[in-house]
């Protein structure tokens, strides 16, 4: 059998070394041995690995064979004896072909480690990049960032390069400036600010604008006394190109917003809220930015901006403002505040959005409650109004609705308010959801104070009587649908379920990513798989039963139109002044 | 078949069941029944009296005392005036000396103890001893007609092969076997009824025999349904039997033929069975749940909103119909006590209708346009009870508001579909579908008519607004009887009547009502309907309910006049 060394050599001679390394033939070999032999053969000049990879192409973004071959090169790289002049074109090619894949990052990290260990290579590499920016501009920023954070000269070089004739070099340099840890280099920060301001004045290219904003924000985060300069720079871009600027600023806020100054945040949020471009396409990015801020202790400002945006661009649901909804759900106190404030709001988009911050239809860890700080607890009309609003919007989220109504009962100052909301709890929740939801209410009741508990227990008692009455009505034979009708309905219902199941499967990332195998019998799946060493292994996977249980409210069956009419009336109700 | 009949006989009660069957049987055997069961009047022990010859023997007087079920030791020990022994004594000592019609005084007398079951051994010895000692005299004998004998007679005189051919027997047996699946049982009974109607066409005698067979088969079906705990098949079949029987006797009543009285008796026995079925069904299945929230909805034992809706409107129509029968009984009776009882019974139905509607919100919006028929009946009962327009207007307003909301929201609005498959898929999306589903309507004109009759102008305006907004495409219409109606109303075998199209509900109440009135005046065929002429107006309503035809507006316009 031919060894790795012979194989590499043979394919090199045939002019197909790179092709061989990306082929599946490599699967049967010890990969570490291949890397070792490649470096050795290169170093004794029997093959030229650097040249072999100079033209390696990535056919598609998911070209596994390209990354397999490139990985071999990256692993061999520290051992290769070569010159920077030979190496840089290969690095640039592999980086370009990798696109934004993590494989490219690994390549550059390895390369920069190499540069740091060979200072003259770093200088030469920067010189090569400056002289041929079209070829090498992509690697400039990574080299400056990875090597520059510990090298004051390199940071100064980056500032200097930000004024280079080539726009690609300028972009790379300013981008690197947006990544430096400026706190460690106060002396250079002022020059850097000057440089980015110069860019903002001299360049109109959108990419320059983006990296300039990033650099300015990074600098102002390190030197808050300079925040005004960053704001002024962003303000200028907002005037010139609002949509692009907002989208980019939102992206920056998502990752770095927590470190920004108050005034900068206020300015950016104001820009979001007043976005005259009405560009709904930017909403997902802004949503992600707001979500990041909502997760931080500085959520107050972002909440107001979010409300403005929801009002303008439509309700929060399973497609819109998803990140913000997730952030709100993750913070019970914020969830309480938002639910209470938005349900009371006369703006339809806000009250409708409360459904999106409800956890789910299953029993939640932290269900929505009312926030007493947002309420006048002595105002019976307001509490009743809020209860009805919550019913209108959260009827299909019975756990959240139960918890919300109970929290209203808890904070209500007047008996009248408690009694009113208790009736709602009984008629809308306990009568409609006699199973787990009622058990949930019973559990909550135990934790409540005396007055609230009495109200809830009364509701529970009335509901129990209602269900007892229903339970006493056995199926009346003469009222049963005919056999033909029963069969027709079962057929219809099973088709609906099947359709829902199929639609659900298409939405599931898991089910749509992997091929499915249908098992007709048994309770476990037996498979024989081949591991990396080529050995076959027997694997047994026990099957799991996945069931879901959803209570269908009685009113949906006995009075669907009446229920919808009532819920619609509750949803559109407005608080009388 | 004999087993079926015996089982049926054993299940009959005396009052209104066995004592209705026996006269019919005797008539069918060729005897002249000169005395039938009456209430409140002294009969001196005789429940039924007939005269005639059995199997070619001499003419005799047959005096029957009737008892349901078996006769055992406890019955013998019964010393009440209603006991069999007391009745037999009354016949011997009171009836025979004074009550035998003069023209029959010379004829031999047979005192018959008729019972649905059998006389148990212990009681048999004592009873025979009693008869030997007490029933003595010239030309006087005694006989026991137990279930076995009655079943034999029924088989010989009703269910003979030449009277009830094998195919009809097959339908009858299938109807009985499927009482748990009322749709199927009804389908077989319908074929049987149709065959009987056809076979009755050959002669007045055959006609009478068919009516009696209908009565008998309806009664047997009732017994079996009662035993199975599901009266649905019996209810629907008895309605059909009632209508078929009326169709068969109506001409005889007009022509006053010789056997008109016998026909009326046979027909009335079917009415009696139907009302009994209706009452038992209401008492057992409906009234106990009428006042409980959602109870009747849940009692359908279905997850389908469609099933609940269809059943509950049907229930309301039946309750109303039963109440209207009670009012009719009050109207026909000369006895003030009976009148009061019947009116109270009708009021109970009225209250039940209101409770059922209030406690079952499915009744706040019909799914099918023709549920307007049941709505009409319920409103007509309320109207006839003179309870004021409040409940009628409230219900009509609720239906209108809900329909308006459902039409605008595209949810379960009333549609003209009848097929169950279409109903469970209703509503689909799209304007074209909505136009197809609401292409015509009797519901809104019905509500409009009641709004106008009750003087609810706002409600009529709301209906008008609905017509001019979301239902501009819909042909608002109402049905009026025509000259073909009398021939087909009761059997529902052909299209009949005419429809007034494009009724404008946007007119003022007076103008709207005037237009409907005018059409009632023009469609005078209603007054010529045999059931109306013979003061059996509930039959028209039963036919409308059963065959899904809008009830004639003459009922309310006349009442208004």
The string of pLDDT tens digits covering residues B243-292 is 999 999 998 888 877 788 888 988 999 999 999 999 999 999 999 999 99
pLDDT score, position B561: 35
Q: Which of residues 256-315 of B touch A (CB under 8 A)?
A: 281, 285, 289, 292-308, 310-311, 315
Mutate one of A479, A484, A550, A567 to test the B interface: name it (highest B CB count within 10 A): A479
Number of H helices, E strands in chain B: 28, 9
Q: B430: pLDDT confidence band, cut at 50, 70 and 90? A: very high
Question: Is any Cβ of chain B less than 8 angstroms from the Cβ of A561?
Answer: yes
Residue A360 pLDDT > 70? no
| Whole-angstrom distance, CA of residue A226 vs CA of residue A217 | 10
Exposed, middle or buried: residue A552 (CB in 10 Å: 0-12, 13-18, 19+)? exposed
pLDDT score, position A445: 94
Residue A509 pLDDT > 90? no
Mean pLDDT (whole number) for B454-470: 95
> Is the CB of B230 less than 8 angstroms away from the CB of A562?
no
Lowest pLDDT segment from A225-234, A431-440, B552-561: B552-561
Residue B1 pLDDT > 70? no
Question: Is any Cβ of chain B less than 8 angstroms from the Cβ of A488?
Answer: yes
Lowest pLDDT segment from A148-152, A166-170, A211-215, B172-176: A148-152
Which tokens in the block code for residue A230?
């960053």
Question: Is any Cβ of chain B less than 8 angstroms from the Cβ of A480?
Answer: yes
Name the DSSP letter for residue A482. P
Contact indicator for B535, B332 with CB cutoff of 8 Å: yes
Mutate one of B178, B231, B301 to test the A interface: name it (highest A CB count within 10 A): B301
Residue B560 pLDDT > 50? no
Mean pLDDT (whole number) for B500-521: 89
pLDDT score, position B550: 96
| Each residue's pLDDT tens digit, A447-504 | 999 999 999 999 999 999 999 989 888 788 899 999 888 888 988 888 888 888 888 7
Question: Is any Cβ of chain A less than 8 angstroms from the Cβ of B402?
Answer: yes
Q: B135: pLDDT confidence band, cut at 50, 70 and 90? A: confident
Nearest C-alpha of chain B: how many angstroms from A517?
34
Mean pLDDT (whole number) for A212-229: 88
pLDDT score, position B164: 76
> Is the CB of A480 less than 8 angstroms away from the CB of B302?
yes
| Each residue's pLDDT tens digit, A515-564 | 777 888 888 888 887 776 667 788 888 888 877 777 889 999 999 999 99
Exposed, middle or buried: residue A446 (CB in 10 Å: 0-12, 13-18, 19+)? exposed
Q: Which of residues 430-469 of A touch B (CB under 8 A)?
A: 466, 469
Under 8 Å CB pairs connecting chains A and B tally to 124
Lowest pLDDT segment from A338-347, A353-362, B218-227, B353-362: A353-362
Q: Which of residues 458-497 of B touch A (CB under 8 A)?
A: none
**In a 3-state reduction of DSSP, which class is residue A526?**
strand
Prediction ipTM score? 0.81
| Whole-angstrom distance, CA of residue A211 vs CA of residue A196 | 9
The single residue listed with the structure tokens 């069957």 is: B21
Q: Measured between beta carbons, which residues in chain B are less than 8 angstroms from residue A567? A: none
Residue B163 pLDDT > 70? no
Contact indicator for A112, A151 with CB cutoff of 8 Å: no
Lowest pLDDT segment from B154-163, B174-183, B502-511: B154-163
Q: A279: pLDDT confidence band, cut at 50, 70 and 90? A: low
| Each residue's pLDDT tens digit, A19-60 | 888 886 776 778 888 899 999 999 999 999 999 898 888 877
Share of chain A above pLDDT 90, in %: 37
> Is the CB of B405 less than 8 angstroms away from the CB of A561?
yes
Name the DSSP letter for residue B294. T
Average pLDDT score over chain A: 87
When CB atoms are compared, the residue of B228, B306, B361 closest to A562 is: B361
pLDDT score, position B394: 97
Share of chain B above pLDDT 90, in %: 63
Taking Cα atoms as reference points, which of A389, A388, A396, A310 lies closest to residue A353? A310
| Each residue's pLDDT tens digit, B383-395 | 999 988 999 999 9
> Is the CB of B183 less than 8 angstroms away from the CB of A484?
yes
Mean pLDDT (whole number) for B191-216: 90
Lowest pLDDT segment from A24-33, A522-531, B525-534, B542-551: A24-33
Task: Provide the residue count of chain A.
Answer: 577
pLDDT score, position B284: 94
Percent composition of chain A: helix, strand, coil (DSSP 3-state, to 5): 70, 0, 25
Average pLDDT score over chain B: 91
pLDDT score, position B414: 97
Question: Is any Cβ of chain A less than 8 angstroms from the Cβ of B221?
Answer: no
Taking Cα atoms as reference points, which of B324, B216, B230, B336 lies closest to residue B277? B230
Q: Measured between beta carbons, which residues in chain A are less than 8 angstroms from residue B183? A: 482-484
Top-ranked range on mean pLDDT: pick from A27-31, A233-237, A309-313, B244-248: B244-248
Mean pLDDT (whole number) for B510-529: 89
Mean pLDDT (whole number) for B301-322: 96
Q: Which residue has the higher pLDDT, B401 or B206?
A: B401
What residue of A is the nearest CA neighbor of B358?
A: A559
Q: Which of residues 53-112 of B touch A (CB under 8 A)?
A: none
Residue B559 pLDDT > 50? no
Residue A116 pLDDT > 80? yes
| Whole-angstrom distance, CA of residue A138 vs CA of residue A141 | 7
> Is the CB of A486 less than 8 angstroms away from the CB of B302?
yes
Q: Which residue has the higher pLDDT, A189 or A456?
A: A456
Q: Which residue has the higher pLDDT, A271 or B305?
A: B305
When CB atoms are compared, the residue of A492, A552, A560 closest to B412 is: A560
Nearest C-alpha of chain B: how many angstroms from A394?
19
Q: B14: pLDDT confidence band, cut at 50, 70 and 90? A: confident
When CB atoms are compared, the residue of A473, A478, A485 closest to B231 is: A478
pLDDT score, position B158: 78
Question: Is any Cβ of chain A less than 8 angstroms from the Cβ of B359?
Answer: no
| Whole-angstrom distance, CA of residue A291 vs CA of residue A280 | 17
pLDDT score, position B432: 95
Nearest C-alpha of chain B: how many angstroms from A312?
24
Question: Is any Cβ of chain B less than 8 angstroms from the Cβ of A102?
Answer: no
Contact indicator for B349, B319 with CB cutoff of 8 Å: yes
Q: What is the dihedral of CA B368, B374, B380, B381, to 10 degrees?
A: -150
When CB atoms are compared, the residue of B229, B305, B362 closest to A477 is: B229
| Each residue's pLDDT tens digit, B139-149 | 889 899 999 99
Residue B108 pLDDT > 70? yes
Residue A262 pLDDT > 90? no
Q: What is the dihedral of CA A226, A232, A238, A240, to 10 degrees?
A: -130
Q: Measured between beta carbons, which residues in chain A are less than 8 angstroms from residue B404? A: none
Nearest C-alpha of chain B: how many angstroms from A564?
9
Mean pLDDT (whole number) for A395-407: 95
Question: Is any Cβ of chain B less than 8 angstroms from the Cβ of A478?
Answer: yes
| Each residue's pLDDT tens digit, A326-343 | 999 989 999 999 999 999
Mean pLDDT (whole number) for A415-441: 95
| Sign of the torsion formed by the C-alpha atoms of A237, A240, A243 and A244 | negative
Q: Measured between beta carbons, which residues in chain A are less than 8 angstroms from residue B293? A: 466, 469
| Whole-angstrom distance, CA of residue B457 vs CA of residue B473 | 23
E-strand spans in A318-442?
none
pLDDT score, position A577: 63
> Is the CB of A568 less than 8 angstroms away from the CB of B294?
no
What residue of A is the nearest CA neighbor of B288?
A: A473
| Whole-angstrom distance, CA of residue B384 vs CA of residue B326 | 11
How many CB atoms are located within 10 Å of the residue A319 CB? Answer: 10
| Whole-angstrom distance, CA of residue B29 vs CA of residue B185 | 29
């Amino acid at each position: 059998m031919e060894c790795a060394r012979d194989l590499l050599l043979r394919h090199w001679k045939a002019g197909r070394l790179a092709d061989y390394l990306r082929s599946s033939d490599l699967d049967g070999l010890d990969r570490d041995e291949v890397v070792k032999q490649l470096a050795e053969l290169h170093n004794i000049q029997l093959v030229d690995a650097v040249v072999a990879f100079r033209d390696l192409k990535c056919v598609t973004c998911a070209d596994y064979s390209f990354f397999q071959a490139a990985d071999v090169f990256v692993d061999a790289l520290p051992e290769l004896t070569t010159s920077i002049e030979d190496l840089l074109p290969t690095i640039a090619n592999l980086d370009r072909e990798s696109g934004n894949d993590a494989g490219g990052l690994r390549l550059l990290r390895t390369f920069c480690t190499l540069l740091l260990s060979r200072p003259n290579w770093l200088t030469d590499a920067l010189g090569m990049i400056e002289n041929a920016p079209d070829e090498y501009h992509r690697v400039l920023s990574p080299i400056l960032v990875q090597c520059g954070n510990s090298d004051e000269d390199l940071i100064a070089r980056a500032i200097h390069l930000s004024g280079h004739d080539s726009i690609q070099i300028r972009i790379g340099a300013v981008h690197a400036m947006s990544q430096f840890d400026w706190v460690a280099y106060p002396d250079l920060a002022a020059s850097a600010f000057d440089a980015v301001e110069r860019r903002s004045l001299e360049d109109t290219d959108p990419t320059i604008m983006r990296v300039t904003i990033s650099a300015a924000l990074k600098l102002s985060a390190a030197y808050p006394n300079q925040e005004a300069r960053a704001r002024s720079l962003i303000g200028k871009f907002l005037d010139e190109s609002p949509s692009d600027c907002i989208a980019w600023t939102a992206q920056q806020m998502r990752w770095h917003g927590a470190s920004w100054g108050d005034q900068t945040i206020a300015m950016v949020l104001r820009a979001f809220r007043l976005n005259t471009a009405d560009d709904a396409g930017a909403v997902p990015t802004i949503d992600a930015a707001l979500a990041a801020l909502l997760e931080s202790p500085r959520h107050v400002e972002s909440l107001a901006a979010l409300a403005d945006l929801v009002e303008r661009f439509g309700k929060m649901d399973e497609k819109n403002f998803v990140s913000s909804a997730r952030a709100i759900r993750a913070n019970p106190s914020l969830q309480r505040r938002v639910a209470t404030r938005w349900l009371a709001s006369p703006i339809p988009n806000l009250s409708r959005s409360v459904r999106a911050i409800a956890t789910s239809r299953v029993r939640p860890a932290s269900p929505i409650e009312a926030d007493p700080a947002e309420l006048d607890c002595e105002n019976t009309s307001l509490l009743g109004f809020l209860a009805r609003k919550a019913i209108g919007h959260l009827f299909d989220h019975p756990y959240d609705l139960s918890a919300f109504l109970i929290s209203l009962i808890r904070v209500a100052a007047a008996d009248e308010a408690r009694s009113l909301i208790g009736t709602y709890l009984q008629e809308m929740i306990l009568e409609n959801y006699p199973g787990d939801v009622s058990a949930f209410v019973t559990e909550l009741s135990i934790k409540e104070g005396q007055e609230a508990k009495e109200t809830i227990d009364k509701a529970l008692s009335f509901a129990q009587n209602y269900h007892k009455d229903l339970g006493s009505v056995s199926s009346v034979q003469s009222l049963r649908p005919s056999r033909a009708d029963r069969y027709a309905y079962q057929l219809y219902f099973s088709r609906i379920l099947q359709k829902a199941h199929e639609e659900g499967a298409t939405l599931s990332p898991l089910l749509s990513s992997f091929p499915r195998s249908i098992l007709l019998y048994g309770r476990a799946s037996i498979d024989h798989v081949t591991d990396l060493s080529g050995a076959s292994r027997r694997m047994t996977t026990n099957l799991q039963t996945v069931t879901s249980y959803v209570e269908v409210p009685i009113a949906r069956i006995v009075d669907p139109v009446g229920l919808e009419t009532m819920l619609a009336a509750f949803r559109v109700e407005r608080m009388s002044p | 078949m004999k087993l079926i009949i015996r089982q049926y006989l054993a299940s009959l009660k005396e009052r209104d069941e066995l004592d209705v069957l026996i006269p019919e049987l005797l008539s069918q055997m060729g005897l002249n029944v000169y005395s039938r069961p009456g209430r409140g009047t002294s009969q001196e022990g005789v429940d039924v009296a007939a005269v005639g010859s059995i199997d070619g023997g001499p003419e005799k007087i047959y005096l029957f005392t009737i008892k349901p079920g078996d006769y055992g030791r406890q019955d013998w020990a019964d010393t009440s005036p209603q006991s069999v022994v007391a009745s037999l004594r009354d016949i011997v000592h009171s009836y025979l000396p004074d009550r035998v019609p003069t023209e029959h005084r010379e004829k031999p007398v047979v005192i018959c103890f008729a019972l649905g079951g059998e006389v148990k051994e212990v009681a048999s010895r004592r009873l025979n001893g009693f008869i030997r000692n007490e029933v003595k005299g010239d030309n006087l004998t005694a006989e026991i007609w137990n279930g076995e004998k009655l079943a034999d007679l029924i088989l010989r005189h009703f269910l003979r092969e030449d009277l009830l051919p094998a195919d009809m027997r097959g339908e009858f047996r299938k109807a009985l076997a499927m009482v748990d699946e009322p749709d199927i049982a009804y389908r077989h009974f319908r074929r049987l009824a149709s065959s009987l109607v056809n076979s009755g066409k050959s002669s007045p005698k055959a006609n009478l025999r068919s009516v009696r067979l209908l009565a008998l088969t309806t009664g047997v079906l009732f017994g079996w349904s009662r035993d199975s705990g599901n009266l649905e098949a019996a209810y629907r079949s008895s309605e059909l039997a009632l209508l078929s029987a009326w169709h068969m006797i109506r001409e005889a009543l007009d022509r006053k033929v010789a056997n008109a009285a016998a026909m009326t008796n046979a027909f009335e026995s079917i009415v009696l069975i139907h009302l009994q079925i209706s009452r038992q069904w209401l008492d057992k299945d409906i009234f106990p749940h009428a006042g409980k929230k959602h109870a009747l909805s849940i009692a359908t034992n279905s997850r389908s909103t469609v099933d609940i809706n269809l059943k509950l409107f049907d229930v309301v129509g039946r309750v109303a119909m039963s109440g209207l029968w009670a009012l009719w009984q009050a109207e026909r009776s000369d006895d003030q006590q009976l009148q009061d009882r019947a009116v109270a019974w009708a009021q109970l139905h009225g209250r039940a209708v209101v409770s059922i509607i209030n406690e079952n919100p499915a009744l706040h919006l019909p799914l099918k346009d023709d549920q307007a028929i049941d709505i009409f009946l319920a409103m007509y009962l309320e109207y006839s009870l003179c309870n004021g327009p409040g409940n009628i207007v409230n219900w009509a307003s609720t239906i209108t508001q809900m329909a308006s909301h459902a039409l605008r929201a595209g949810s379960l609005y009333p549609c003209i579909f009848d097929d169950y498959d279409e109903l469970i898929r209703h509503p689909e999306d799209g304007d074209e579908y909505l136009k197809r589903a609401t292409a015509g309507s009797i519901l809104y004109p019905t509500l409009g008519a009641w709004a106008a009759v009750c003087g609810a102008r706002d409600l009529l305006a709301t209906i008008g607004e609905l017509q001019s907004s979301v239902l501009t495409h819909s042909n608002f219409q109402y049905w009026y009887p025509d000259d073909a109606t009398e021939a087909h109303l009761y059997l529902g075998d052909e299209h009949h009547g005419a429809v007034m199209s494009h009724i404008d509900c946007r007119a003022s109440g007076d103008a709207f009502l005037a237009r409907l009135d005018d059409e009632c005046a023009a469609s005078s065929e209603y007054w010529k309907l045999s059931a109306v002429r013979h003061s059996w107006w509930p039959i028209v309503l039963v036919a409308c309910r059963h065959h899904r035809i809008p009830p004639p507006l003459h009922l309310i316009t006349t009442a208004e006049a």
